[in-house]
Amino acid sequence: MDYFLSEEQQMIVDIAKQITDERIIPNRAELDETHGFPREILGEMAQADLFGVPIPEEYGGFGGGCFDIVLAVEQLGRGCIGIGTAFAANFLGAYPILLSGSEELKQKYLPEIASGRKFAAFGLTEANAGSDASGIQTTAYLDGDEWVLNGTKQWITNGGEAQVYSVVAMTDRSRGARGATMFVVEEGDPGFSCGPKERKMGIRASSTTELIFKDCRIPKDRVIGRQGSGFITVMKTLDLSRPGIAALGVGLAQGALDMAASYAKQRKQFGKPVIAFQAVQHMLADMAIGVESARSLVYSAAKHIQAHPRDMSKASAICKTYATDVAMKVATDAVQVMGGYGYMCEYPAEKMMRDAKILQIYEGTNQVQRNVIGQELNKEYSS
Ligand SMILES: Cc1cc2nc3c(=O)[nH]c(=O)nc-3n(C[C@H](O)[C@H](O)[C@H](O)COP(=O)(O)OP(=O)(O)OC[C@H]3O[C@@H](n4cnc5c(N)ncnc54)[C@H](O)[C@@H]3O)c2cc1C
């Protein structure tokens, strides 16, 4: 389908597509097998200015919005959502600074992230605080001119690879959800370290580690926004970022459909290509319906979010939930269309199926997204 992209938007797609075809697809199997971090490929994305896409021009970026970054991320997702995740997590780290940071913080960090000179990460989750983020135990207190952080974040994408970490900590427990504050922690800050890389079912090209704060001291001005506004910034950040996860889902589903359809054309059984069997055609047709409807929804949601930054939650949750459920189903069906070959590591279908699962879990599980949509509907229909 033609989505009538502008010249600039088509250019973003073309650049991301070229990197995906020439660099990601040929290297994804090895990075998956070795849990290797795609440093070189990310470097090439930086050279192609992809890191600057959603960062305003005054901070060295391209000045695009949610829709522009969705276009880039979708292409990367078609190749490997592990590499796509390593890329997209930079914005999860940058958005708190962009949305709530002081001018000084923006000037200091955003140009470095936009150029890809520094990688960023976002630290919210802890061992006992996943969906219920209000349960975080990491604390921060002011000691003279420094904040002192203590606690451990868990499963943080780009952990150990990033230089800039946007982190949430409780600064006043008595205030509950209003007692959390966000900070920028830098690689090398005293008292800050990362745990070993987690071993994962999928998205193995992305690094996932703990962030460990032991009397970690950072300057007073590294606070992001007002003290106590941490969870508001967290929620806005995730609302803005989730269409990117949805776009990874659209890309992965497109990649799985492409592979399954071309396999079905060349695989012969009973004297004909298996695509000649209506049962196979119908599976492919349902996959195509899923991909195209998810893409249309994600594009519309991203445009809505770009135009209405104060009304992001429902559109963001709807597109994340739908597109990632489609990705899981299409990836599973691609394996089915390919039969036993789909199950073998020789083809990327099994990796896509393993990878797809995370999309329904991180940045808020799809159950929790349905809660968000339900709560928004409850508000809308209360009057
Ligand atoms: C590979 C990976 C990368 C990640 N990257 C990051 C990152 O960069 N930064 C970061 O901060 N976090 C990150 N996370 C954490 C991720 O966002 C959480 O795993 C996710 O929010 C879910 O939390 P949980 O795993 O603790 O699940 P839990 O909250 O323990 O949920 C368990 C189950 O209960 C369900 N459930 C929980 N509460 C409800 C409810 N109220 N209603 C209905 N169902 C509910 C969930 O849907 C799920 O099925 C990452 C996780 C992974 C696995």
pLDDT of residue 64: 96
Ligand 1 atom 26 nearest Cα: 130
Strands (E) in the chain, as ranges, are 120-123, 139-143, 146-157, 164-170, 180-186, 192-194, 208-219, 223-224, 268-269, 272-273
Catalytic residue among 74, 210, 350, 363: 363
DSSP sequence for 334-372? HHHHTHHHHHSTTSTHHHHHHHHHHHTTSSS-HHHHHHH
Inter-residue contact 359 to 298 (CB < 8 Å): no
Q: Which residues pair with 273 in a beta bridge?
A: 268
- Whether residue 93 has its Cβ less than 6 Å from ligand 1: no
Residue 47 has what pLDDT? 98
pLDDT tens string 40-94:
999 999 999 999 999 999 999 999 999 999 999 999 999 999 999 999 999 999 9
Residues 6+ apart with CB under 8 A from 131: 364, 365, 367, 368
The half-sphere exposure of 196 on its side-chain side, counting CA atoms within 13 A, is 4
The H or E element spanning position 331 is helix 313-337
Distance in angstroms between the alpha carbons of the first and the last residue of the chain: 39
Tokens of 306: 């770009």
Can you say how many angstroms the Cα of residue 305 is from the centroid of all Cα atoms in its chain?
16
State pLDDT tens for residues 251-299.
Answer: 999 999 999 999 999 999 999 999 999 999 999 999 999 999 999 999 9
Identify the DSSP state of 23: I
Q: Are 323 and 301 in contact (CB under 8 A)?
A: no
Q: Is the pLDDT of residue 383 over 90?
A: no
Question: What is the reported pLDDT for 103?
Answer: 98
Can you give 298-311 as a three-state secondary structure string?
HHHHHHHHHHCCCC
Point out the ligand 1 atom lying closest to the alpha carbon of residue 92. 8
pLDDT higher than threshold 80 for residue 123: yes
Q: Is 138 helix (H, G, I), strand (E, B) or coil?
A: coil
Q: pLDDT per residue over 7-19, tens digit each?
A: 999 999 999 999 9
Check if 156 has its Cβ closer than 6 Å to any atom of ligand 1: yes
From 213, 361, 366, 371, give the residue whose CB has the most ligand 1 atoms within 8 Å, as the site to mutate: 361
**Ligand 1 pocket check for 77: Cβ under 6 Å:** no
Could you tell me the distance, in angstroms and rounded to a whole number, from the CA of residue 273 to the centre of ligand 1? 42
Any ligand 1 atom below 6 A from CB of 91: no
Beta carbon of 332 within 6 Å of any ligand 1 atom: no
Q: Which run of H or of E encompasses 322?
A: helix 313-337
User: Ligand 1 mean position to 339 CA, how many Å?
Assistant: 32
Average the pLDDT over 122-136 and give the result. 97
φ, ψ for residue 237 (rounded to 5)?
-60, -45
> Residue 159 and residue 123: Cα distance in Å, rounded?
9
Name the E strands within 74-160. 120-123, 139-143, 146-157
Atom in ligand 1 nearest the alpha carbon of residue 206: 1
Active site residue 363: yes
Residues 6+ apart with CB under 8 A from 340: none
Q: Is the CB of 232 under 6 A from ligand 1?
A: no
